[in-house]
A = this chain, B = another copy of it.
Amino acid sequence: MKINENFLKIQSSYLFSNIAKKVNAYVKENPERTVIRLGIGDVTRPLAPAVIKAMEKAVSEMADEKTFRGYPPEYGHDWLLTAINTNDYLSRGVKLDNSEIFVSDGAKSDCGNIGDIFSVDNKVAVCDPVYPVYVDTNVMSGRAGDFESNSWTNIVYMPCTEENGFLPEIPKEKVDIIYLCFPNNPTGMAITKDELKKWVDYANANDSVILYDSAYEAYITEDNVPHSIYEIEGAKTCAIEFRSFSKTAGFTGVRCGYTVVPHELVRGNVEINALWARRQATKFNGVSYITQRGAEACFTEEGKKQIREIIAYYQKNARTIYEGLKDCGFTVYGAKNSPYVWLKTPEKMRSWDFFDLLLNEIQVVGTPGQGFGPSGEGYFRLTAFGSAENTDKAVARIKEYFCK
């Protein structure tokens, strides 16, 4: 019995597991200190009342044989697909058929599993820094090559740095699969419609596929920033889009997301939609009825209003962090269209050293930029998902420590 040797290439464990281990060890040794966690992008606000109400009703339906629900449809209940379609797409002028939307237990699963439908022989391009799941899942499936001098030999890295305004440049070599995430994790920077159009044109011209992660679209405040890649002409023939209820509706602990695969996306005479449909029907069995009813409630008038308030709460946190750090002399990015603040470490300190410094000295947890890729070195991510109180406290601690 032979294992998948690609797994052995991944040296360390998943970035956020590493952080959790370090923080847990610190807490164990220093139980008297109050640690403020602005590291992992996990929300803290309770679910919207409309969502709670819908899930309570769904639970009670499961208690009665007349309303009990067994296996959900593999791709999601029609009422949820319709709610997504109407509110997230049609409202922005994007026409989709419900059969182009696949509800799942989260965007992380979908981003990870999407590789199943593509050949191992594809050239993958990622932004650098980048959400580690895109890279790690390609390492596991054998597309990444070997790890040499802090990067994978067969992955095309597209540096996103201060110099290019954290926007990747079109690769000079031909690439097949391009991961884009906007508003970006970790940099918090957004892309304009004009800039995204260049990528769509490149992908269509080169028969590439763009895997577009728009998990943070709810944080967009600027008009010329697209919420969906399908707002860009030509995207349906080259792009798959991942969406999540985690950051929009606080579903990190509830688990729901969805993936859009337009029928127009055809490669090698095959509809990619049919491949994903087959993958999901075979290796997945749908999402909890209770979860789906909760997700549906996000699109009621009541739910939308409540969720907007929660988003506004986090947006205020983002501004607090951004402004606070700026006042303190830090160079900061993001926040405007994103729950993330991306900051330069002081005096080019290495990002894991800065992580240790913040944890040990002022008990604030962030995410070291290096964990997101080589170009993340020297940067650090703070998230707006804490409570307002903790966010204010963390900024005060940072100010006290660094502004003195």
Contact = CB atoms under 8 A, between A and B. Distances in A.
A83 interface: no
Given A4-B118, A44-B70, A14 B282 contact: yes
A4 B275 contact: yes
A180 interface: no
Nearest to A175: B1
Contact of A137 (B106, B121, B140, B283): B283
A75 B268 CA distance: 38
Nearest to A8: B270
Contacts of A8: 270
A121 B253 contact: no
Interface in A125-146: 132-133, 136-137, 140-141
A397 interface: no
A288 B117 contact: no
Interface string A236-280: 000000000000001011110000000000011010100100110
A289 interface: yes
A21 to B, nearest CB: 12
A362 to B, nearest CB: 23
Given A116-B4, A133-B282, A140-B116, A71 B176 contact: no
A234 to B, nearest CB: 15
A79 interface: no
Interface string A21-64: 00000000000000000001011111101001001100110111
A105 B40 contact: no
Chain A's interface size range is 35 or more
A65 interface: yes
B47 A1 contact: no
Given A49-B63, A62-B47, A254-B62, A113 B283 contact: yes
A282 B209 contact: no
Contacts of A252: 70-71, 285
A357 interface: no
A10 B284 contact: no
B59 A121 contact: no
A88 to B, nearest CB: 21
A92 interface: no
Given A117-B4, A282-B136, A283-B112, A255 B70 contact: no
Contact of A3 (B4, B56, B272): B272
A68 B47 contact: yes
A253 B118 contact: no
17 contacts: A1-B207, A2-B118, A8-B270, A14-B278, A14-B281, A17-B74, A42-B70, A44-B70, A56-B60, A59-B290, A62-B253, A70-B252, A109-B285, A136-B282, A137-B282, A255-B286, A290-B290
Interface of A: 1-5, 7-8, 10, 13-14, 17, 40, 42-47, 49, 52, 55-56, 59-60, 62-65, 68-72, 74, 105-106, 108-109, 112-113, 116-122, 132-133, 136-137, 140-141, 176-177, 207-209, 250, 252-255, 267-268, 270, 272, 275, 278-279, 281-291, 387
Closest 7 CB pairs of A and B: A112-B283, A2-B119, A42-B70, A69-B253, A1-B176, A70-B252, A52-B63
